[in-house]
């Protein structure tokens, strides 16, 4: 940026983010500053962005992730590390397919009517049109990632990694096809992993149903929450230790309604305390029942279709919706006198995380990964410290989950995604492939048939696939697994091959993200230099969904951990601590927030008080406070820049003089804070690093040093504070840049344009070296002297504020100071100016003092401030006011304390209400202390 672009007239009074942010982002992009500078002699810093869904719009979770990752990236880049932040997007199988299907529905079409090939063309059309929207939103956040390396999970390189991983695991016997109980979403028409099911507490009923004995009078009563599933019952089970039912073992009962005989069996899985202690066993619709059925050799009856309607096994209820079937069965049970009673019952029900429909446990043929052997190296990597998890408390949760891990169902009955790289020979396995035909196909009413039968009717392969709504491949069919389409069957040579219709779980490709994005399985330069990566930053809510699986697959494919550190951030809640959701109406749109407050204000608010793993609250008040800080930075810098224009001389701003006490102090404080910022950044305590910078810039640089510098500039006192003003501003802009990049770059460019060219500054702040602490600049003595000075001024200001003495009214002040702190007398002109006192008198220790009952006294370490109030306020009246306020304060405290110690209140009130009351109590306690202090100073 040229000098002309940043002349003195170009410093607006107010900071306007809209006029700055997009211009600066283009400047950074055009400068190529986001791309890493590869240096084989240096260890790189690498973050792979968690890929947001291609369907997504930026939400606050994305904004927090991007902000934290950008802070780390900008810091390491300024430290001189070769730095790569690689962006990308996830194809989001279920979410994307659902979105496109909804668009088709508005056109009166279904995906089955289009067929697989044309449907996928429509999805790719949608991705090309809308898929980059979230990238542009990330740019608005200031994300300094290398867009030239952007990856999409369905790009050829990641797809090759998926096929290679699948084939390798299959050859090792770690991927298999099996029939298991899986979570099935009737709406999305696909299997779900356990992690894709969200359990919600629901108030329902426990139905007590009588199962009559096949022979003789009597019955066994079982309790269930799902009467509709009894149509798939194949036994009744009791606990072998339950004496109530020992005589019934070996007998048979009749299934209500359908009258099917069922054996009574004994199994340890039955809880005698639940219901009546007798349990209906439905292997086709419950994971525990499935295992019981396996142990007892019970048949599996699937009473429901994949769309949630009742199957032909449901007899008279065939075709009914599962919930309507429940009502019909209950009506029939009542009519037959078999519904003994009904009780209200609360229980947890699984729902699809995508569409929120209640999931159905169904027996299905799916692809699985054996996880036991794969989990062991991933456990060891955390135990031996090759991977650290922040905060540490999540390491134990990770280890517990990994030690009890179940096989991972990786197949999904979708069309959009990585299609499973397995083929079947229609000559060898045609009879094992069943086809459920779409409603629109012209098949003379045949709903289910085999591939072989359709072939015999002369239908070509492509046409059969187009007419199928679902293809079921029997376990007896032998898959041909390959990283590329095979040319023929290895057994018979036939080229008539059908690819498995299922796609892989989206999390399968995501599990390969750290190494697939860098070129694996090819031995690329990027993979060799940038892998393993440095940090994986993401939300704690996907520790098991994603992080654990990345560790498993990274170790399996490369032999190396995928990253050294896992940084888990918390959830963002509203100002009351409630989770944000559209139904609550408390969702904050980050883009609208940027439009209102600016990007830097949003970033600053998201990281203020932020600590790894802790949830945080975001409110309009917090956003306003963050914007105020951005404006404070702008206004302080504007003062320095305009003063610099007037002075037309910077002096040696790169190494300013330390002759003056105030200059020594602010430089010492600058380097003290620089050291603490480095410490907190290295410990991933970004909220603490930001707090240090906020407090230093606002409280010390602006409120104290700039105000003291103004006094010196007005008086012409030498040495001039100008070099130190410029030096501290420039270094602080560098320190703050990773947190608030736009306003700091804009100010820095204006400052650079005013500085001598021989300083050889870089073209952009974002590539300027990050400040390092100079321990030689640390000065404990001067910091103590200035702390005493500021304490005196604060004490005087507090008296003015408490007793409402107007700023323009002269106020006499006496300061008793020890000889050890005689330097305070040298700053008399500063005290007079900043505290507005006249006369200011310094007393030696032991000198006579004014009457205590008419004087406010503040005792500080090293000095005592005495302010006679006679003639300024009515001290008797002030005492009375303070006493009344103290009584009111104590009464409020008593009320709040009683409320907070009441278990009825703390157990029933919302957490945000309890926190608000605690904060009120803390404020009251603080105010009580101050009132008592003033009363004591008045000698009462």
Residue 767, classed as helix, strand or coil, is helix
CA distance 875 to 272: 78
Q: What does the pLDDT read at residue 387?
A: 98
As a dihedral over the C-alpha atoms of residue 668, residue 674, residue 679, residue 680, rounded to 10 degrees, the angle is 120
b/e 76-97 (16+ beta carbons within 10 angstroms → b) = bbbeebbbbbbbbbbbbbbbbb
CA–CA separation, 878 vs 938, rounded Å?
9
Task: Please report which helix (H) or strand (E) contains residue 368, including its range.
Answer: strand 360-369
CA-CA distance, 180 to 333, in Å (whole number)? 31
Q: Which residues share a beta bridge with 450? A: 434
Return d(Cα 418, Cα 869) in angstroms, integer: 81
Closest-CA residue to 522 (of 158, 172, 48, 35): 158
How wide is the angle at C-alpha 84 spanned by C-alphas 79 and 85, nearest 5°? Answer: 110
* Measured CA distances, 777 to 581, 670, 679, 759, 928 (Å): 50, 9, 18, 21, 40
Beta bridge partners of 579: 573
Residue 732: is it exposed, middle or buried by C-beta count within 10 angstroms (0-12/13-18/19+)?
buried
Angle at 773 (CA atoms; ends 768, 776), nearest 5 degrees: 130
Tallying the residues shown for the chain, one arrives at 940
Within 8 A by CB and 6+ apart from 605, the residues are 618, 622, 623, 625, 626
How high is the pLDDT of residue 465?
A: 65
Residue 844, phi then psi, degrees to nearest 5: -80, 155
Mode of pairing for the β-strands spanning 503-504 and 411-412 = antiparallel
User: How high is the pLDDT of residue 845?
Assistant: 79
What stretches in the chain show pLDDT beneath 50?
Answer: 1-9, 439-446
Q: How is residue 151 written in tokens? A: 């990856």
Cα separation of 586 and 593, whole Å? 13
324 and 318 Cβ atoms separated by less than 8 Å: no
Supply 118's token pair.
């044309």
The per-residue pLDDT for range 233-285, each reduced to its tens digit, is 999 999 999 999 988 998 999 999 999 999 999 999 999 999 999 999 999 99
Burial zone of 119 (CB within 10 Å; 0-12 exposed, 13-18 middle, 19+ buried):
buried
Q: Tens of pLDDT along 589-634?
A: 999 999 999 999 999 999 988 888 888 889 898 999 999 999 999 9
> Model pTM?
0.85
* Cα–Cα distance for residue pair 111/532, rounded to 1 Å: 41
What pLDDT, on the 0 to 100 scale, is given for residue 441? 36
- CA distances 499 to 110, 180, 361, 506, 832, Å, are 22, 22, 26, 19, 87
Q: What pLDDT was estimated at residue 3?
A: 36
| Contact call for residues 200 and 249 (beta carbons, < 8 A) | no
pLDDT of residue 649: 75
The span from the CA of 523 to the CA of 935, in Å, is: 77
pLDDT attached to residue 611? 87
Cβ–Cβ under 8 Å, residues 812 and 865: no
């Amino acid at each position: 940026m040229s000098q002309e672009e940043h002349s003195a007239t170009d410093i607006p009074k107010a900071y306007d983010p809209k006029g700055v942010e997009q211009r600066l982002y283009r400047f950074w992009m055009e400068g190529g500053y986001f791309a890493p500078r590869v240096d084989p002699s240096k260890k790189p810093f690498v973050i792979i962005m968690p890929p947001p869904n291609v369907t997504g719009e930026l939400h606050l979770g994305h904004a927090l992730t991007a902000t934290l990752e950008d802070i780390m990236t900008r810091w390491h880049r300024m430290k001189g590390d070769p730095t790569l932040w690689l962006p990308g997007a996830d194809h989001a199988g279920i979410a994307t397919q659902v979105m496109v299907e909804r668009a088709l529905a508005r056109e009166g079409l279904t995906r089955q009517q289009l067929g697989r090939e044309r449907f996928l063309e429509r999805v790719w059309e949608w991705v090309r049109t809308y898929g980059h929207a979230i990238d542009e939103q990330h740019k608005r956040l200031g994300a300094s990632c290398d867009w030239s390396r952007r990856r999409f999970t369905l790009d050829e390189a990641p797809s090759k990694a998926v096929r290679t991983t699948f084939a390798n695991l299959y050859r090792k016997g770690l991927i298999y096809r099996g029939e298991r109980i899986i979570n099935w979403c009737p709406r999305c028409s696909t299997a779900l992993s356990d992690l894709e099911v969200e359990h919600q507490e629901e108030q329902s009923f426990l139905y007590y149903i009588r199962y009559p004995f096949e022979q003789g009078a009597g019955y066994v009563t079982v309790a269930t929450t799902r009467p509709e599933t009894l149509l798939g019952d194949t036994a009744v089970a009791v606990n072998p230790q339950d004496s109530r039912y020992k005589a019934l073992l070996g007998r048979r009962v009749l299934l209500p309604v359908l009258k099917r005989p069922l054996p009574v069996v004994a199994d340890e899985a039955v809880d005698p305390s639940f219901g009546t202690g007798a349990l209906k066993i439905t292997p086709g619709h419950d994971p525990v029942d499935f295992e019981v059925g396996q142990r007892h050799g019970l048949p599996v009856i699937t009473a429901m279709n994949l769309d949630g309607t009742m199957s032909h096994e449901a007899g008279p209820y065939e075709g009914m919706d599962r919930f309507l079937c429940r009502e019909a069965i209950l009506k029939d049970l009542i009519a037959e006198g078999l519904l003994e009673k009904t009780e209200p019952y609360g229980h947890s029900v699984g729902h699809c995380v995508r569409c929120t429909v209640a999931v159905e446990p169904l027996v299905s043929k799916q692809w699985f990964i054996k996880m036991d052997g794969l989990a062991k190296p991933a456990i060891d990597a955390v135990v031996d410290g090759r991977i650290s998890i922040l905060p540490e408390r999540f390491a134990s949760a990770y280890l517990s989950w990994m030690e009890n891990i179940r096989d991972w169902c990786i197949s999904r009955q979708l069309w959009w995604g990585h299609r499973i790289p397995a083929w079947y020979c229609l000559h060898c396995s045609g009879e094992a492939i069943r086809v459920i035909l779409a409603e629109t196909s012209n098949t003379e009413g045949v709903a289910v048939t085999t591939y072989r039968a359709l072939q015999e009717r002369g239908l070509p392969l492509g046409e059969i696939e187009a007419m199928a709504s679902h293809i079921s491949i029997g376990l007896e069919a032998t898959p041909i697994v390959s990283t590329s389409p095979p040319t023929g069957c290895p057994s018979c040579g036939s080229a008539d091959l059908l690819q498995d219709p299922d796609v892989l779980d989206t999390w399968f490709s995501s599990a390969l993200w750290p190494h697939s994005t860098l070129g694996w399985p090819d031995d690329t330069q990027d993979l060799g230099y940038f892998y393993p990566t440095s940090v994986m930053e993401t939300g704690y809510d996907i520790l098991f969904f994603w992080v654990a699986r990345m560790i498993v697959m990274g170790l399996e494919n490369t032999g190396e951990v995928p990253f050294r550190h896992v940084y888990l951030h918390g959830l963002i809640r509203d100002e009351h601590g409630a989770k944000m959701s559209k139904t609550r109406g408390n969702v904050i749109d980050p883009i609208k927030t940027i439009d209102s407050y600016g990007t830097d204000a949003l970033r600053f608010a998201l990281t203020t008080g932020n600590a790894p793993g802790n949830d945080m609250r975001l409110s309009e008040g917090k956003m306003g406070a963050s914007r105020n800080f951005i404006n404070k930075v702008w206004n302080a810098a504007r003062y320095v820049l305009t003063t610099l224009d007037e002075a037309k001389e910077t002096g040696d701003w790169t190494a300013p003089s330390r002759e003056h006490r105030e200059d020594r102090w602010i430089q010492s404080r600058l380097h003290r804070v620089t050291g603490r910022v480095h410490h907190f950044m290295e410990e991933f305590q970004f909220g603490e690093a930001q707090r240090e910078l906020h407090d230093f810039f606002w409280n010390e640089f602006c409120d104290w040093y700039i105000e003291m510098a103004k006094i010196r500039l007005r008086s012409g006192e030498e040495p001039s504070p100008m070099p130190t003003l410029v030096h501290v501003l420039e270094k602080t802009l560098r320190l703050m840049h990773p947190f608030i990049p736009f306003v700091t770059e804009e100010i820095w460019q204006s400052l650079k344009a005013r500085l001598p060219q021989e300083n050889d500054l870089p073209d952009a702040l974002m590539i300027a070296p990050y400040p390092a602490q100079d321990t030689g600049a640390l000065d404990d003595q001067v910091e103590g002297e200035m702390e005493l000075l500021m304490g005196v001024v604060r004490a005087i200001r507090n008296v003015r504020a408490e007793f409402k003495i107007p700023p323009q009214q002269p106020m006499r002040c006496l300061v008793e100071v020890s000889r050890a702190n005689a330097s305070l007398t040298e700053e008399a002109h500063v005290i007079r100016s900043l505290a507005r006192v006249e006369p200011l008198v310094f007393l030696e220790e032991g000198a006579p003092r004014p009457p205590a009952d008419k004087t406010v006294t503040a005792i500080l370490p090293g000095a005592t401030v005495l302010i006679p109030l006679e003639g300024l306020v009515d001290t008797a009246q002030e005492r009375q006011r303070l006493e009344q306020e103290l009584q009111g304060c104590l009464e409020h405290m008593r009320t709040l304390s009683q409320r907070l110690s009441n278990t009825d209140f703390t157990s029933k009130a919302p957490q945000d209400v309890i926190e608000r009351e605690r904060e009120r109590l803390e404020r009251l306690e603080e105010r009580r202390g101050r009132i008592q202090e003033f009363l004591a100073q008045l000698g009462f």
